[in-house]
Each structure stands twice: as structure tokens, then as C-alpha cells.
């Protein structure tokens, strides 16, 4: 696999923090592309999937358009257009409220709920950590095996269970298509907020260093 320097045609970085920031931005773009490919199989965009999850969270209650807009991860999304697309697919309904003719009530349909259930199962199959216990020098450690899939390959790493849960959370966070850019310092703060120690030791350890070979992170 190419290094981050080769990918962006840059010979060197001022320091490791700048390099890490660029790594995260590059990884964010890669993950967004992977999510786009994943949701395409279900006839959805990432934004449409976000709308369906918002509606499912309030089901069976109705949700108004402005409530969807407020809860969207991508604040630049056109909620009106997204709802119309989902309505055409039979995944949501949109009706004038019986309380006010100026209010539009939006519900997720049974078809929409079934599609989300199908997607949930696919996601859990791909990313749920497989737990096991590792014993070394008389000490037992709770470990987790993470499996990542792309069209090209499947890659597995085994790390501490607590670190595995955090890693999945942060990968999902930085992959979100929104206006927020997370720096290496913010990633480190997020790590430490989970009462984890030695961020640099973990982030640059052997299992994490295998991820560039898979293309998930560019060091």
C-alpha cells in the first residue's frame, strides 16, 4: 500500500501531529466512500439512511420536517428532498397533520423498518467485535477481534476489548459526512475521556500499524 506521503504527493510533514491530522482527513474520505458503496447496495445514500434512523427513533410518533433537519448529522442536507426520495421508494409517508394544515407529519413505513433491520444485521456482521480471553504470564486479558471488509480484501486485528470498542466508535465518528473536522488532539481527548491511557502507544502499536496495508488508515 502507498504511504500517506505517496497518496497526497507530499514529501514530508512538519511534525507527527500534522501528519496524523492529514491521516484522519484522508481516512475520513476513505470511510465516506466505503459507506457510500455500502448503502448503495440498499438503494440509499448516507443522508437518506440518517433520515430513516431519525424516523425509526420516534416511531410510531410522527416527525416534522424541521425536527429531521435539526437532527441530521450532515447539516447541509436538504431534508425536504431526502424525504421526497424516500417517499417515492415507499420507505416513508408524508401527510398533512390533522392538528394543523401547515404541519406535515412524516412516518417511517414497515418497509422502511424492515430495510433498516436488514442493514443493522449487515453492519453487526461486519463490525461487531468477537470477544475472547488471552492469557499471558498468568494474567488474563479481555480481547476483541475486529474484522474489516472491502471489495478487495478482509482484514482482522486483535486488540484489547476496551480499545476495540473505542476504535469502532471513533472510526464511525470521523467517517460522518459533516462540517466538523477532528484533529489529532481531539481524537486524543476523546480517547482519554474514555479513561484510556497512552494514546500514542496505542495509536501507533503493531495491530494499528497493519491497517495501512488494508487501506483503512494511512500512516
Please indicate, yes or no, whether residues 133 and 111 belong to a single structural domain of this protein. no
Torsion, Cα of 29, 178, 44, 120 (10° steps): 90
User: Which is more confidently placed, 26 or 14?
Assistant: 14
Quick check: pTM over 0.85? no
Q: Where are the alpha helices (DSSP H) in the chain?
A: 4-8, 16-40, 46-58, 65-71, 79-88, 110-127, 161-175, 184-193, 199-203, 206-209, 211-214
Return the number of other C-beta atoms located less than 10 Å from residue 101's C-beta. 8
More confident residue, 133 or 169: 169
Beta bridge partners, 106, equal 63, 94
Kindly state whether residues 142 and 192 are assigned to the same domain: yes
Cα–Cα distance, 26 to 65 (Å, whole number): 33
**Contact between residue 50 and residue 32 where contact means Cβ atoms under 8 Å apart:** no
Residue-wise pLDDT for 139-178, tens only, equals 777 787 777 766 566 778 888 888 887 887 777 666 644 4
d(CA 187, CA 169): 11
**Chain segment 206-217, per-residue pLDDT in tens:** 888 877 766 665
Last residue of a domain, one of 87, 102, 120: 120
Domain boundary among 91, 120, 149: 120
* DSSP 8-state symbol, 109: -
Residue 127 in this model has a pLDDT that exceeds 50: no
Using a pLDDT cut of 70, give the percent of the chain over it: 81
Last residue of a domain, one of 74, 90, 120: 120
Q: How many domains does the chain have?
A: 2
Q: Which one has a higher pLDDT value, 181 or 8?
A: 8
- The parent domain of residue 77 ranges over 46-120
Lowest-pLDDT range, 60-64, 128-132, 178-182? 128-132
Amino acid at each position: 500500500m502507498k504511504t500517506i506521503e505517496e497518496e497526497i504527493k507530499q514529501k514530508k510533514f512538519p511534525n507527527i501531529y500534522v501528519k496524523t491530522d492529514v491521516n484522519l482527513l484522508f481516512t475520513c474520505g476513505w470511510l465516506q466512500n466505503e459507506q457510500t458503496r455500502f448503502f448503495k447496495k440498499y438503494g440509499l445514500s448516507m443522508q437518506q439512511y440518517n433520515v430513516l434512523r431519525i424516523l425509526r427513533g420516534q416511531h410510531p410518533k410522527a416527525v416534522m420536517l424541521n425536527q429531521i433537519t435539526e437532527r441530521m448529522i450532515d447539516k447541509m442536507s436538504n431534508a425536504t428532498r431526502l424525504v421526497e426520495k424516500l417517499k417515492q421508494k415507499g420507505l416513508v409517508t408524508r401527510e398533512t397533520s390533522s392538528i394543523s394544515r401547515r404541519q406535515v407529519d412524516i412516518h417511517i413505513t414497515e418497509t422502511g423498518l424492515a430495510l433498516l433491520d436488514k442493514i443493522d444485521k449487515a453492519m453487526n456482521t461486519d463490525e461487531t467485535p468477537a470477544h475472547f480471553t488471552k492469557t499471558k504470564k498468568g494474567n488474563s486479558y479481555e480481547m476483541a477481534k475486529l474484522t474489516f471488509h472491502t471489495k478487495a480484501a478482509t482484514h482482522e486485528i486483535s486488540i484489547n476489548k476496551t480499545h476495540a470498542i473505542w476504535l469502532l466508535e471513533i472510526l464511525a465518528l470521523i467517517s460522518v459526512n459533516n462540517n466538523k473536522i477532528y484533529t489529532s488532539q481531539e481524537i486524543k481527548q476523546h480517547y482519554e475521556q474514555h479513561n484510556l491511557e497512552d494514546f500514542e502507544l496505542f495509536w501507533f502499536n503493531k495491530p494499528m500499524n497493519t491497517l495501512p496495508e488494508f487501506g483503512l488508515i494511512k500512516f
